[in-house]
Amino acid sequence: MAAVVLVGAQWGDEGKGKITDFLAERADCVVRYQGGSNAGHTVEVKQEKFMLHLVPSGILYPQTLCVVGNGVVVDMGKLIEELDGLQKRGIDTSNLRISLRAPVVMPYHKKIDELEDRDSNIGTTKRGIGPTYADKINRIGFRIGDLLEEPDIFEARFKAQVAYKNRIINEIYNEEGFDYKALLDKLMSEVAVLKPYLADTSYLIYNCIKEGKKVLFEGAQGTLLDIDHGTYPYVTSSHPIAGGACVGSGIGPTSIGRVLGVAKAYTTRVGEGPFPTELNDEIGQTLRERGAEFGTTTGRPRRCGWLDAVILRYAARVNGLTDLAITKLDVLDSFPVLKICVAYRYKGSLLQEFPDNIGILSKCEPEYMELPGWQQDLSGVTEYEQLPDKAKRYIETIEELSGVKQAIVAVGPKREQTIVTQRLYT
Ligand code: IMP
């Protein structure tokens, strides 16, 4: 049984949490492979809402092995808080495993993220994500496993690193730095709490795949936030695309059988950066209100706009999408006319492909096609056949424009409001 990778096909917040949760119920193992506590998944189960940031959605099923892979940057304090919250609500977290190779988000990373974002204006979540990945690539970061073995070696490196970070914080930003000993004590108490969960997770996932178990890789953020393939520099610092699943978990590409792209029936983004179909009008406002488009992690209002098929075609290409999940279709219920962007107009020419230059993207105008809205409440629909013809036409148009068939359509936040037309796990 080959593994399934689930990715966001837009700028994140596509409703991946709900789809992951739906698939997680059928999976033996769910793996997070990138990002950190910048992610926020809301899962609704039997009137109960769960907000997950670092813990994979599979945690709601006691039999599912949940893995935080080596590609995830771990804020240990936040993870402990999240686990405490779940345990208090009766969720068994003993099936969680965290990679010993996962980089640790330090308090100075969060501080530097906040300070740097004042100048760069990316609009980060201030969770220390960029600075932690930067340190990893720069080979001056710390992995969770480093905190467990040979404490004297760790302490010496850590002391030097805190001194270096303090110089940046003091000299460039004129703010107070950190006391290394206090940080060290905090880290050691946190790692002691997490110790039972730490493991060589690549080996665990490898064995699951070898035994024919159902493995689901759960991407956070989305394709256009990918550090290489997104709208750089308005991106996150990891690889949300499907290829990131291999690097961020330590398995080979031959293990991946299907790639499910999750796309909202319209488009949103948080933070700064160009967004060709953005609507700064009443329609955008209606999408925000009906879709409850406010960040799970930061509470920020999301920017909203029409569906962009240029983006979906691009997502299909860079992720190798085999299937599509279309979420929040019900948010479009009230509109008499729906627009889909089919190409971009740039300096008199029509671009069919997503530009790889942020300057060009920021000057692209959307070229729309129009479709009639269904103006009917979809929230109670449970079978594809029950959808009004106009809603089916909207979905089929997305399939044609993206070149990917839909497997799942969501018409509301609850588990029951999920129409499945193709089984991803046999
Ligand atoms: P960072 O990931 O905190 O460094 O933020 C970089 C960019 O990614 C900002 O524009 C954030 O708003 C965006 N971002 C990070 N995580 C998410 C997410 O889970 N959903 C949507 N946008 C995100």
Average pLDDT over residues 332-351: 97
- Residues 385 and 311 occupy one common structural domain: yes
Asked which of 173, 194, 215 is the last residue of a domain, the reply is 194
- Residues 249 and 337 occupy one common structural domain: no
Is 105 close to ligand 1, i.e. is its CB under 6 Å away? no
State the CATH number of the domain containing residue 363.
3.90.170.10
Atom of ligand 1 at shortest range from CA of 125? 3
- Residues 23 and 58 occupy one common structural domain: yes
| Buried b / exposed e along 226-237 (16+ C-beta atoms within 10 A) | bbebbbeebbbb
Do 304 and 266 meet the contact criterion of CB atoms below 8 Å apart?
A: yes
| Buried b / exposed e along 41-70 (16+ C-beta atoms within 10 A) | bbbbeeeeebebbbbbbbbbbeebbbbbbb
pLDDT given for residue 240 in this prediction: 98
Rounded Cα distance between 326 and 308, Å, is: 13
Phi-psi region of 114 (alpha: psi -120 to 50; beta: other; left: phi over 0): alpha
Q: Do strands 48-52 and 41-45 pair parallel, antiparallel, or not at all (unpaired)?
A: antiparallel
- Residues 292 and 366 occupy one common structural domain: yes
Of 11, 225, 268, 294, which is best to mutate to test ligand 1, by the most ligand atoms within 8 angstroms of its C-beta? 225
Q: At 41, which helix (H) or strand (E)?
A: strand 41-45
Is 236 close to ligand 1, i.e. is its CB under 6 Å away? yes
222 CA from centroid of ligand 1 (Å): 9
Evaluate the omega torsion of the peptide bond into residue 301 and state whether it is cis, within 30 degrees of 0. no
Tell the burial category of 308 from Cβ atoms under 10 Å away from its Cβ (0-12, 13-18, 19+).
buried
208 CA from centroid of ligand 1 (Å): 31
Asked which of 141, 174, 194 is the last residue of a domain, the reply is 194
- Number of domains into which the chain is organized: 3
Asked which of 194, 217, 238 is the last residue of a domain, the reply is 194
Beta strands in 237-396 (DSSP E): 256-264, 267-269, 303-305, 307-308, 323-327, 337-346, 349-351, 365-372
Rounded Cα distance between 273 and 231, Å, is: 7
- Residues 177 and 132 occupy one common structural domain: yes
The answer to whether residue 179 scores a pLDDT higher than 70 is yes
* Domain contains 426: no
- Residues 85 and 153 occupy one common structural domain: no
Is 343 close to ligand 1, i.e. is its CB under 6 Å away? no
Q: Name the pTM for this structure.
A: 0.96
pLDDT given for residue 317 in this prediction: 98
Condensed to tens digits (0 to 9), the pLDDT of residues 189-238 reads 999 999 999 999 999 999 999 999 999 999 999 999 999 999 999 999 99
* Domain contains 126: yes
State the CATH number of the domain containing residue 8.
3.40.440.10
38 CA from centroid of ligand 1 (Å): 6
Is 131 close to ligand 1, i.e. is its CB under 6 Å away? no
The answer to whether residue 381 scores a pLDDT higher than 60 is yes
pLDDT given for residue 297 in this prediction: 73
* Domain contains 202: yes
For 155, 294, 355, 363, the CA distances from 400, given in Å and listed in that order, are: 57, 30, 21, 26
pLDDT given for residue 426 in this prediction: 56
Condensed to tens digits (0 to 9), the pLDDT of residues 265-288 reads 999 999 899 999 999 999 999 999
Rounded Cα distance between 348 and 355, Å, is: 15
Kindly indicate the confidence band of residue 1, based on its pLDDT and cuts at 50, 70 and 90.
low
Do 85 and 79 meet the contact criterion of CB atoms below 8 Å apart?
A: no
* Domain contains 44: yes
Is 270 close to ligand 1, i.e. is its CB under 6 Å away? yes
pLDDT given for residue 269 in this prediction: 95
Cross-strand bridge partners of residue 30 = 66, 216
**How many C-beta neighbours within 10 Å does residue 404 have?**
23
Average pLDDT over residues 252-266: 97
* Domain contains 87: yes
List the catalytic residues.
Answer: 13, 41
Which range marks the domain in which residue 173 is found?
Answer: 107-194
- Residues 375 and 396 occupy one common structural domain: yes
Average pLDDT over residues 105-118: 96
Average pLDDT, the chain: 95
Residue type, 412: G
Q: What length does the chain have?
A: 426
CB neighbour list of residue 270: distance below 8 Å, 6 or more residues apart: 11, 12, 13, 123, 295, 298, 300, 302, 303
- Residues 271 and 399 occupy one common structural domain: yes
CB neighbour list of residue 268: distance below 8 Å, 6 or more residues apart: 10, 11, 13, 287, 291, 293, 302, 303, 304, 305
10 CA from centroid of ligand 1 (Å): 12
Q: Which of 418, 293, 327 is nearest to 14 (CA)?
A: 327
The answer to whether residue 414 scores a pLDDT higher than 90 is no
Do 350 and 344 meet the contact criterion of CB atoms below 8 Å apart?
A: yes
Atom of ligand 1 at shortest range from CA of 271? 10
pLDDT given for residue 43 in this prediction: 76
Kindly indicate the confidence band of residue 50, based on its pLDDT and cuts at 50, 70 and 90.
confident
- Residues 63 and 129 occupy one common structural domain: no
- Residues 297 and 373 occupy one common structural domain: yes
Residue type, 3: A
- Residues 82 and 202 occupy one common structural domain: yes
